[in-house]
Amino acid sequence: MVAEHLAMSAPQTGQALTLDDIVHRYGSALAIDHVTLEVQAGELVALLGPSGCGKTTLLRIVAGFIAQTSGKVVVGGRRIDELPPNRRDVGIVFQNYALFPHMSVAENVSYGLAARGTDKAAARRRVVEMLELVQMGHLAQRQTRELSGGQQQRVALARALAIEPRVLLLDEPFSALDKSLRLDMQIEIKRIQRSAGTTTLIVTHDQEEALGMADRVAVLSHGRLEQFDAPETVYDRPATFFVNQFVGSANVLAGRLEAVDGERAWVRLDDGGALWPTRAPLASAALKTGSAVVACVRPENLRLDAASPDDPATLGAHVELGMALGATLVHELRTGSGRPIKLSEPRSPGSQARAVATPVRVRPVAPEAVSVFAAP
Ligand SMILES: Nc1ncnc2c1ncn2[C@@H]1O[C@H](COP(=O)(O)OP(=O)(O)OP(=O)(O)O)[C@@H](O)[C@H]1O
Ligand SMILES: [Mg+2]
Q: Are residues 172 and 295 in the same domain?
A: no
Q: Are residues 55 and 181 in the same domain?
A: yes
Q: Are residues 219 and 290 in the same domain?
A: no
Q: Are residues 69 and 171 in the same domain?
A: yes
**Pocket flag, ligand 1, residue 24 (CB < 6 Å):** no
How far is the centre of ligand 2, averaged over its atoms, from the C-alpha of 297 (Å)? 30
Q: Are residues 331 and 201 in the same domain?
A: no
Residue nearest (by alpha carbon) to ligand 1 atom 30: 52
Distance separating alpha carbons of residues 278 and 313, to the nearest angstrom: 11
Q: Are residues 230 and 317 in the same domain?
A: no
Closest atom of ligand 1 relative to the 223 alpha carbon: 14
pLDDT digits (tens, 9 = 90+) for 219-260: 999 999 999 999 999 999 999 999 999 999 999 999 999 999
Distance separating alpha carbons of residues 3 and 184, to the nearest angstrom: 12
CATH number for the domain that contains residue 282: 2.40.50.140
Contacts of 250 (CB under 8 A, 6+ apart): 244, 296, 297, 298, 299, 371
**Last-in-domain residue among 219, 243, 267:** 243
CA-nearest of 302, 336, 297, 298 to 320 is 336
Pocket test for ligand 1, best of 57, 69, 220, 226 (most atoms within 8 A of CB): 57
**Pocket flag, ligand 1, residue 55 (CB < 6 Å):** yes
**Last-in-domain residue among 243, 263, 294:** 243
Q: Are residues 313 and 222 in the same domain?
A: no
Residue type, 109: V
Q: Are residues 190 and 300 in the same domain?
A: no
Distance separating alpha carbons of residues 200 and 41, to the nearest angstrom: 9
What percent of the chain lies above the pLDDT cut of 70? Answer: 95
CA-nearest of 298, 304, 300, 351 to 323 is 351
Give residues whose Cβ lies within 5 Å of ion ligand 2. 56
Number of structural domains, the chain?
Answer: 2
Asked whether the beta carbons of 167 and 87 are under 8 A apart, the reply is: no
DSSP secondary structure letter of residue 137: G
Closest atom of ligand 1 relative to the 55 alpha carbon: 21
CA-nearest of 17, 18, 44, 39 to 195 is 44
CATH number for the domain that contains residue 49: 3.40.50.300
Which residues face 11 on adjacent strands? none
Closest atom of ligand 1 relative to the 57 alpha carbon: 18
pLDDT digits (tens, 9 = 90+) for 293-335: 999 999 999 999 876 667 888 999 999 999 998 899 999 999 9
Q: Sheet containing 70-75: which strands, arranged edge to edge?
A: 29-39, 17-26, 70-75, 78-79
Distance separating alpha carbons of residues 163 and 184, to the nearest angstrom: 21
Q: Are residues 184 and 83 in the same domain?
A: yes
Q: What is the mean pLDDT of each run of 10 residues along the chain (376 residues)?
A: 38 81 98 98 95 95 96 95 89 84 94 89 94 91 91 89 89 84 83 83 89 94 97 96 94 95 94 91 83 96 80 91 93 93 93 92 95 94
pTM for the whole thing? 0.88
Contacts of 147 (CB under 8 A, 6+ apart): 105, 139, 155
Strand, coil or helix: 177: coil
Q: Find the ligand nearest to 28 CA.
A: 1
**Pocket flag, ligand 1, residue 53 (CB < 6 Å):** yes
What pLDDT, on the 0 to 100 scale, is given for residue 5? 35
Which residues face 104 on adjacent strands? 143
Q: Are residues 210 and 273 in the same domain?
A: no
E-strand stretches of 179-250: 199-203, 216-221, 224-229
Cis, peptide link before residue 309, omega less than 30° from 0: yes
| Residue range of the domain that includes 153 | 2-243
Q: Are residues 69 and 160 in the same domain?
A: yes
208 phi, psi to nearest 5 deg: -60, -40
**Last-in-domain residue among 243, 264, 288:** 243
Integer-rounded Cα Rg, in Å, for the chain is 25
Distance separating alpha carbons of residues 116 and 250, to the nearest angstrom: 49
Q: Are residues 76 and 20 in the same domain?
A: yes
262 phi, psi to nearest 5 deg: 65, -120
Residue nearest (by alpha carbon) to ligand 1 atom 31: 52
Chain-centroid distance, C-alpha 109 = 28
Chain-centroid distance, C-alpha 90 = 21
